[in-house]
Structure 1
């Protein structure tokens, strides 16, 4: 490809990438690792040359986060606490809600279009060197993100693994500290329904001799087995580190540093995100060599916010939860509606998700429902969701063709003290975040 034929805008690049590789998800690391080596992002024993020294990694310290739920909130808290301690932090997450730029954050700011375009150009030049290599949209995006992180002179990079773990493109970079947050059923058509096998896949981000942080007390044994096999020091929630529940005085964390010396922090504020994830974030940071200061940690946790995770916008709470584990957590965290008000649910889901498993814990808290259709090959109709909600004991008042149409229908029916939970998919939440959400008249 002639340089002048390259796309010029971010939107053009994303369209180009979607057209390049016919399969959306093509698990395997060989292709993406070859292009990364050509870009100088990772070193290979055969590809380093004296004229172009290859960095050992994209940052002096790398924390990688895998798991079914809790990855985004764990990463957000690692980023916030590290930044409060004066570290220059970069992160890579997926998917995005409104703008592709959300996926790459550098020192607290989303990467701008110009930087991402330069990154995609670097990926394309490397990809097209003979022999040319095909990359999926996600793989090209991951390499672009790594290029952005590598050029930003960071102290710490925090990486969220997309689908799976072992064969995810993010796993071409060796983590100094690797986290598995939770293991639950999700993406069954790619990862299967065997929790032990899913655990092994997620644990594929562990590295020999490097700390592995286990962020749930309900992980399958296969995760610990993989850490032991690699001789990776294992730090498990409930064993090496723990946290108290929130009380009037906040909550407390106990953990260890890299030499297994005990650490503790108290009077921590509720971050509005799962405390298991907060405790995991603190343990990972201490293992990455950050000497946690109580005041700075409190400051970071008091202001951390994650779009689309129990995010309140007036009467609306939007949450991207799309599997039973996430829905159960949501159901336990929803406050009661104010006196004289009631809860409504707005639900839109993809067809590869366990809809009954999501609906069951939520209908126990939310009596009134609006169902919305999501388009695309993975879409699911509002009518199908409505039948499931009705069968599980909820009352469906309306089926809408889109999340926007569902919110518009609900607007004139909301009383002042009513509350709405909008959930079920990133697509549902993204559509609502892109519009002004209606409030009661």
Structure 2
């Protein structure tokens, strides 16, 4: 395929061909900065008017996906037409753009990429990364839908992320932890400042964790952005055991208090559910308790503590996410064994993730991920053994790891598959074994 396509004679391409073409447009996969993507966006008309009557942008290290999913579900339960842009995807690129709960069709995405390409090649040619081109396509799709609300998930960072070319009416920072150290560093205060780069002067800033670095709040104050922080302007409280009955209390933009009682457990972090409600109120939603309950009860998010038979799939890939999984992973039935299947990228805090999960998992299957960032199963195995864990098998792929487990799982065994979007995506694309054999025992271990 040619490095560039002439704007006046674009050949008809399939979605897969477009995605392959996007990988050739820029010399590096990640190139932080807004100058190039903003210029193309202006050519496309994306910056001349809002892409929707209300825009909520969500940034943070963890919790972005669940917060966005609950915003979408609650808003749709109230009858709002909602469009979302998220990344990455698990099985299909179409997952990244949803309109009224439906994944974008190939035809719409292809049309969007054609608009991006024409704008990119207009006058002086502009080089875009895969993510930048995809973000522009997603924004074009949302701008051309009749929406009440657009919800945008920030990819990497915040201040210099392509999504940040859009001015949000409400901006959320969920959590701050170490991740993407090669690009964001390891200083939590600096990471907080980067994530808070999505805040806008005079527009509400929602802080979705009580453990955010002070730098996030300072960024809001420097912009005179009204701050709504978990534990201060909005809170949640359990009314019974677990979160099957909880109360949310928040504030309208004018400071008037709002309370919604008897809320169901959404199966996702309650901090994020409370944050979603506060953001929607600030976006102008008059909460209807019955609709809030429907939205929370019906929300779905693939790859976050997602159960398929005895398998729990979670894309967590940093210690903060792994700690949450370890706290919320139920024990297997009596007589059952808790397995861990793990595959990670080598630029993640592998030791930190293993340490966080070791409180619940001591028996492991390690799997290799492909690509230059993929970590080999043998490397994962060494790190697990160094922390006192037992590795029973090293597999060349998530598929091979699942096949091995199929031979040893007993009916009461449970498996946590985690460590990367790539690990979970590979397993979602295949039937997962339930197992009925008996475990051979310590003879399978790698010493």
Same fold (TM over 0.5): yes
Q: Pick closer, same or farther for the CA change 1:305–1:183 going to 2, 3 Å.
A: same
Deviation by residue 1:335-374 (Cα, 9 ceiling, x = unmatched)? 1110111100000000000011101121111121000001
C-alpha separation between the residues in 1 aligned to 2:239 and 2:66?
Answer: 17
Give the alignment's Cα RMSD to 1 decimal: 0.9
C-alpha displacement of 1:391: 1.4
Report if the CA contact (8 A) 1:243-1:251 is conserved: yes
Runs of 4+ residues deviating >6 angstroms: none
Name the structure 1 match of 2:350: 355
Deviation by residue 1:171-229 (Cα, 9 ceiling, x = unmatched)? 00000000000000000000001100000000000000000000000000000000000
Name the structure 2 match of 1:36: 41
1:284 and 2:279 correspond: yes
1:398 and 2:393 correspond: yes
Structure 1 counterpart SS, 2:23: helix
C-alpha separation between the residues in 1 aligned to 2:7 and 2:420?
Answer: 40
1:120 and 2:129 correspond: no
Q: Which one of the candidate residues 371, 374, 379 is aligned to 2:369?
A: 374
C-alpha separation between the residues in 1 aligned to 2:59 and 2:88?
Answer: 14
C-alpha separation between the residues in 1 aligned to 2:7 and 2:171?
Answer: 40
Point out where structure 1 has 5 or more consecutive residues left out of the alignment: 44-55
Name the structure 2 match of 1:240: 233
Report if the CA contact (8 A) 2:94-2:103 is conserved: yes
Q: Pick closer, same or farther for the CA change 1:97–1:130 going to 2, 3 Å.
A: same
Q: Which one of the candidate residues 60, 68, 74 is aligned to 1:67?
A: 60
Aligned ranges 1:70-89 → 2 under 5 Å: 70-89=63-82
Q: Which one of the candidate residues 402, 409, 418 is aligned to 1:407?
A: 402
Report if the CA contact (8 A) 1:374-1:428 is conserved: yes
Name the structure 2 match of 1:300: 295
Point out where structure 2 has 5 or more consecutive residues left out of the alignment: 1-5, 437-447
C-alpha displacement of 1:246: 6.3
C-alpha separation between the residues in 2 aligned to 1:7 and 1:334?
Answer: 47
Name the structure 1 match of 2:378: 383
C-alpha displacement of 1:245: 3.4
Q: Which one of the candidate residues 420, 424, 427 is aligned to 2:422?
A: 427
Name the structure 1 match of 2:442: none
1:9 and 2:17 correspond: no
C-alpha separation between the residues in 2 aligned to 1:296 and 1:193?
Answer: 41
Q: Which one of the candidate residues 243, 249, 256 is aligned to 1:254?
A: 249
Q: How many residues align?
A: 429
C-alpha separation between the residues in 1 aligned to 2:108 and 2:225?
Answer: 36
C-alpha separation between the residues in 1 aligned to 2:240 and 2:421?
Answer: 32
Report if the CA contact (8 A) 2:239-2:262 is conserved: no
C-alpha displacement of 1:4: 4.0
Name the structure 2 match of 1:345: 340
Report if the CA contact (8 A) 2:10-2:114 is conserved: no
1:190 and 2:183 correspond: yes
Structure 2 counterpart SS, 1:76: helix
Report if the CA contact (8 A) 1:13-1:120 is conserved: yes
Structure 1 counterpart SS, 2:56: strand
Name the structure 2 match of 1:149: 142
C-alpha separation between the residues in 1 aligned to 2:410 and 2:351?
Answer: 28
C-alpha separation between the residues in 2 aligned to 1:245 and 1:397?
Answer: 40
Report if the CA contact (8 A) 1:322-1:423 is conserved: yes
Structure 2 counterpart SS, 1:102: helix
Structure 2 counterpart SS, 1:167: coil
TM-score between the two structures when normalised by the length of structure 1: 0.96
C-alpha separation between the residues in 2 aligned to 1:4 and 1:126?
Answer: 13
Report if the CA contact (8 A) 2:60-2:174 is conserved: yes
C-alpha separation between the residues in 2 aligned to 1:99 and 1:152?
Answer: 21
C-alpha separation between the residues in 1 aligned to 2:79 and 2:283?
Answer: 14
C-alpha separation between the residues in 1 aligned to 2:123 and 2:197?
Answer: 30
Name the structure 2 match of 1:336: 331
Deviation by residue 1:129-149 (Cα, 9 ceiling, x = unmatched)? 001111111000000000000
Structure 1 counterpart SS, 2:42: helix
C-alpha displacement of 1:20: 1.2
Deviation by residue 1:61-103 (Cα, 9 ceiling, x = unmatched)? 0000000000000000000000000100000000000000000
Structure 1 counterpart SS, 2:339: strand
Structure 2 counterpart SS, 1:142: helix
C-alpha displacement of 1:7: 4.7
C-alpha displacement of 1:2: 5.3
